[in-house]
Structure 1
Amino acid sequence: PDKVAEITWVPADTVRAIARTYAQSKPACISEGVALDHFRNGTQVSRAVAILMAVTGNVDIPGGNTWPSRGIPFTNLRMADRASDDEGIGAEYPIFNRFTRERSAMCIPDAILDGRPYPIKALLVQGSDPMRIWPNTSRAEKALKSLELLIVIDLFMTDTAKLADIVLPCTSFLEGKSWKDYRSSGLPLVTVGDQAIEPLGSSMEDWKIIAELGKRMGFEEYFPWKSADELFQYLFEPTGVTMEQFRE
């Protein structure tokens, strides 16, 4: 606690009181949100929070931190028929893959630098800043600098964007339509945001950037949508909810 107080300016007695209150309360729940993910070494902070949940026995119990089901069905946009037959990155972490249905980005530096399970020559970073949140920043930097092509889509000139060959400006939530689901928070909830102002400068909505890149690479059939409404409606089709219902 004294070391934590020195770093955070939170009094050591307050640190002890918070720790004891959480440890002695059952059930207890930590609502983390996304703020921690946007700070340097955010990955390790989130891991520490998860460890606290586990060691206090507050995982997957009523009133604790539950692992939500993926009950809200969405259309899968992944181009499965174009995927390689090679074993995917992060296959050595099957539990993570099974629960998140994604592969761990933490394995990307190894793939770039060591060619395991296959070498990565180019990387497109969207909605993330690996230089700020990936562990072992020096290795992450070495990996990103080793790429033949690094493209970053972002609102800001992040630490990762500074290393990029190309930076593509995306819109903020005010400049384009957006949607968000809260499955990771255990909530069967979906929200849709409408556009408030026209895109500034040469910025484009994230989906449109990806669609345009896909079309220019010869994959027009995978990107038939002409508007965000069309794309969202396609995504929400399995739910039976229409864009008109969202607006109402």
Structure 2
Amino acid sequence: MLTARSMRALVLNRRLLIIGLLESLVMLVAFGQVFSGLAYAPGFPAGVRYVDFLLPALLLTTTLQSGIQAGIGVTDDAQSGILDRLRSMPVWPGSILIARSLAGLARGALRLAVLLALARVLFGYDPAGGARGVLAAAGLSLALSWSLGWLFIALACWIDQTEALHATAGLVMFPLMYASNAFVPVGGLPGWLRRIARYNPVSHGIDSARDLCLTGTTGPGVLNAVLAGLLIAVLAAAAAVRGLSRAR
């Protein structure tokens, strides 16, 4: 019931839905064009177009944005008083948050479908891994973004203001996205940033998604990404439930 309510909010809020879909288009076109020259830089994978290098990263970063929206949904419920009414019912607090996270997962899946369709139409995206590799990469991205999305849900349970959550989420997203291999190979980063990127769970997820898209296979890095994501999800979910259960 709680998940259905969150899903209805997702569908009925058409402005937010359209903005999210347009954001996928802007990221694809902007990053795909601005950084396309990197495909000719030393150290870039030979024979790989930049859009083919970029798309697996956008799969993960795009779905992470849905995790932020899930957190914002929690703060909106708190400010509107809906959350207080739900907490007064005999409902486990965690179920409220799980419903929000599943709605965010559905939003992420929709955004990925639009992103891949746009990449196919605008850039002829057809990587060597084929449709099976792309679908597997999309599934991996959804799983990892759902896990990391609990960070933003936990923040929402401790930060009651939407504006403050926006600012904090931006601070969290910046290193996750830019201190990683999302837009350039790790070897092209400065030494200090390279070390950070190698420990960034987003880098491991992007590496695995790239392998799936470009070759149809993946290496041992996928296990590191999944385990790191699960650990973050467990710790963040516990913090979120504690934050939601505290007296306000």
TM-score using structure 2 length: 0.24
**Bigger radius of gyration among the two:** 1
* Higher RCO, 1 vs 2 (CA within 8 Å, ≥6 residues apart): 2
Higher strand share: 1
